[in-house]
Structure 1
């Protein structure tokens, strides 16, 4: 039955054209989630306007039972210099699960929405890959990890 739910979610997302091309992380561990959609982006690099929220919708399977999860974001400036991006309260993954709550059970298929504000200190024109990873109780407790190239664009209100 669980297989059918995962299959349905994947087919639904693909049929609606809501799947962003992401790749496996190169600097952090973690497998790819079942599906990722970044609003407004199918084929990277994804254009992210300053002072707006980038919104990621992610479907993944819990690899084990977990009481808590955190989301970490790292931008690689010039392709190599890591910059840990503070997600603030948005880093508390359990608060943004759409179909469940923590603790989560091993094998549970979870729908997660992440919002990340593109701050003004990220200059317009900045192009960098970003790795988004979800971890359990420790940073080495990988749940999943995605890498996607982005370009910071001018705020929409200009």
Structure 2
């Protein structure tokens, strides 16, 4: 009987740990009434600012709903530092391309009412260790924003960084 109780407790703890790793990150809406994602999960972060290690890649899973026929999409990022300086953050083409990075068997073209997940592998450059507000938006072939959100991050040193 004790073995069964131990197994049930262990499975319950495992499910709790799995659920905690799948929790959504608390992100904010972009200005201008742009469509907001269904959910965003930033690896290792539930409550921003999210610590991101310079020189690494930070994973974001972005769940969003499609409201029109989409043949191609790209991710774009704006970064704001010191609360006043906003600049575009250039992404490598293979990262910016949304369609090849859709998860769970989704692919383009996308049709209205589809819910999909984009795996955004955000490259974190060798930047100063400061807080940054990042606005991440996905733009379709017509230049329309399909989804947009803001997340505060803090660039930190990793193990072995100088």
1:71 and 2:71 matched: no
Please report the TM-score for the alignment, with normalisation by the length of structure 1: 0.83
User: Displacement of 1:29 after TM fit?
Assistant: 5.4
3-state SS in 2 of match to 1:57: strand
1:24 and 2:29 matched: yes
2:128 corresponds, among 103, 106, 123, to: 123
User: Displacement of 1:58 after TM fit?
Assistant: 1.2
Please report the TM-score for the alignment, with normalisation by the length of structure 2: 0.81
List gaps (5 residues or longer) in structure 2: 1-17
User: Runs of 4+ in structure 1 displaced over 3 angstroms?
Assistant: none
User: Displacement of 1:30 after TM fit?
Assistant: 2.0
1:110 corresponds, among 106, 116, 128, to: 116
Q: Deviations over 1:113-132 (max 9, x none)?
A: 10011101x212x1121000
Q: Deviations over 1:55-113 (max 9, x none)?
A: 00111111211000010011012112111111112000111001311111111110111
3-state SS in 1 of match to 2:95: helix
Partner of 1:146: 149
User: What is the root-mean-square deviation of aligned Cα atoms in Å?
Assistant: 1.5
Given that 1:75 and 1:84 are in contact with CA atoms closer than 8 Å, whether structure 2 keeps it comes out as yes
Given that 1:76 and 1:129 are in contact with CA atoms closer than 8 Å, whether structure 2 keeps it comes out as yes
1:46 and 2:50 matched: yes
User: Displacement of 1:156 after TM fit?
Assistant: 3.2
Partner of 1:87: 91
Instruction: Report how many residues are paired.
Output: 140
In 1, the alpha carbon distance for the partners of 2:146 and 2:116 equals 11
